[in-house]
Amino acid sequence: MADQALAALNDRFGLAGKLAFVAGPSGLPHARIASGDYGAEVALQGAHVLAYGRRGEPPVLWTSRLAVFAPGKAVRGGVPVCWPWFGPHPSDPGKPAHGFARVSMWSVAASADGGDAVALTLGLRDDGATRALWPHPFALELSVRVGARLELALTATNTGDAPVTLGGALHSYFGVGAVTEARIMGLEGARYLDQLTGEFHAQQGPVTVAGEVDRIYEDAGPACTIVAPALGRAVRVAKSGSATTVVWNPWVEKARSLADLGDEEYHEMLCVETANAGADTVTLAPGARHTLGATIEVVPLS
Ligand code: BG6
């Protein structure tokens, strides 16, 4: 991005010492946010939160060392915004997995210093490129609030005159240090679709990882906690507007097949995603809106 365009963003939305727009590795703009001891980085491409954490502590979100920063490429890590569908397109496998929002260029709508948190709002509207993939008018907004908690709210408005059906996810990648020691609390008893076999099961006890995991948990409760003993911490994810939680770890073989994920990196990360996935879709009447919300915070190990 030209220096002038970055300067214009900083003039209009920058907050002294708290929010600055800088050129990311590919030249595309990133917002750097500092809020007391907490910080975050958000790429305007994809409205992608790349990093969040507290100074002096291990990052809360995980991003691959092989992540690719390039126009039109999704970043492996952070919080990709999957929208308006989750996973493969429901009827056309030729369309991009997880929709187009994560690779679209968003604009900055607002910024604010709220004292205990710094807020940034990004927006995306339909255009020729989005309508070629999904023929519906829409307004999409991601609000990011950075403080002792990371609060994300993805609000979709149907600006057309026909109902639309949406899926999506705030596809958060968490650092866990050693995935085989990690566990997810809060999904006990939930029915899940094992995407690797197509079978449904009920979760027995906490979720643990000892192989590839790709599951859509149905009727997942309002919060779950990712316990990471190797990092001496736990992370709580509270959510709204989402009936499904997706848990993903690629494990050895899948990691080898992903060019933007190192062969051993699967061991450090675990995706716990606030989703509208599988049968959990949302149908919006004309003018209606839906918010998918996730609040992420470090909590003591219990
Ligand atoms: C998860 C899906 O949400 O995302 C997995 O459940 C998928 O099936 C994973 O492999 C990563 O997707 P992508 O498109 O970012 O490689």
Q: pLDDT by residue (tens digit) across 270-297?
A: 999 999 999 999 999 999 999 999 999 9
pLDDT value of position 99: 98
In DSSP terms, which residues pair with 169 in a beta bridge?
82, 275
Atom of ligand 1 nearest to the CA of 275: 3
Mean pLDDT in residue range 14-40: 97
Q: Which residue do the tokens 């002294």 mark?
A: 16
Residue 1 pLDDT grade (very low, low, confident, very high; cuts 50, 70, 90): low
Cα separation, 98 vs 93, in Å, equals 11
Atom of ligand 1 nearest to the CA of 86: 3
pLDDT value of position 119: 98
Minimal-distance CA residue to ligand 1 atom 14:
97
DSSP notation for 126-153: --HHHHHHS---EEEEEEEEESSSEEEE
Respond yes or no: is residue 151 known to be catalytic: no
pLDDT tens for each residue of 190-242? 999 999 999 999 999 999 999 999 999 998 999 999 999 999 999 999 999 99
The answer to whether 292 and 274 have CB atoms below 8 angstroms apart is yes
pLDDT tens for each residue of 61-78? 999 999 999 999 999 999
- From the list 89, 279, 82, 86, the residue with the least C-alpha distance to 191 is 279
The answer to whether 78 and 174 have CB atoms below 8 angstroms apart is no
How high does pLDDT run on average in the chain?
97
Distance between Cα 85 and ligand 1 center (Å): 12
As to burial, measured by CB atoms within 10 angstroms (0-12 exposed, 13-18 middle, 19+ buried), residue 28 is middle
Indicate if ligand 1 lies below 6 Å from the C-beta of 215: no
Distance between Cα 14 and ligand 1 center (Å): 34
Residues in the chain, how many? 302
Indicate if ligand 1 lies below 6 Å from the C-beta of 195: yes
What 8-state DSSP symbol labels residue 180? Answer: G
Mutate to test the pocket of ligand 1, among 81, 171, 270 (most ligand atoms within 8 A of CB): 171
As to burial, measured by CB atoms within 10 angstroms (0-12 exposed, 13-18 middle, 19+ buried), residue 78 is buried
The letter for the amino acid at 146 is: V
Distance between Cα 250 and ligand 1 center (Å): 9
Given 89, 98, 171, 290, the catalytic residue: 171
Atom of ligand 1 nearest to the CA of 258: 16
Indicate if ligand 1 lies below 6 Å from the C-beta of 214: yes
Distant-in-sequence, close-in-space partners of 152: CB < 8 Å, separation ≥ 6: 49, 79, 142, 143, 144, 145, 170, 293, 294, 295, 296
Distance between Cα 237 and ligand 1 center (Å): 19
Indicate if ligand 1 lies below 6 Å from the C-beta of 239: no
pLDDT value of position 302: 72
Distance between Cα 56 and ligand 1 center (Å): 30
Respond yes or no: is residue 253 known to be catalytic: no
- From the list 104, 117, 106, 113, the residue with the least C-alpha distance to 14 is 113
Atom of ligand 1 nearest to the CA of 254: 10
Mutate to test the pocket of ligand 1, among 248, 258, 261 (most ligand atoms within 8 A of CB): 248
Distance between Cα 87 and ligand 1 center (Å): 6
For residue 268, pLDDT beyond 70:
yes
- Whole-model pTM: value is 0.98
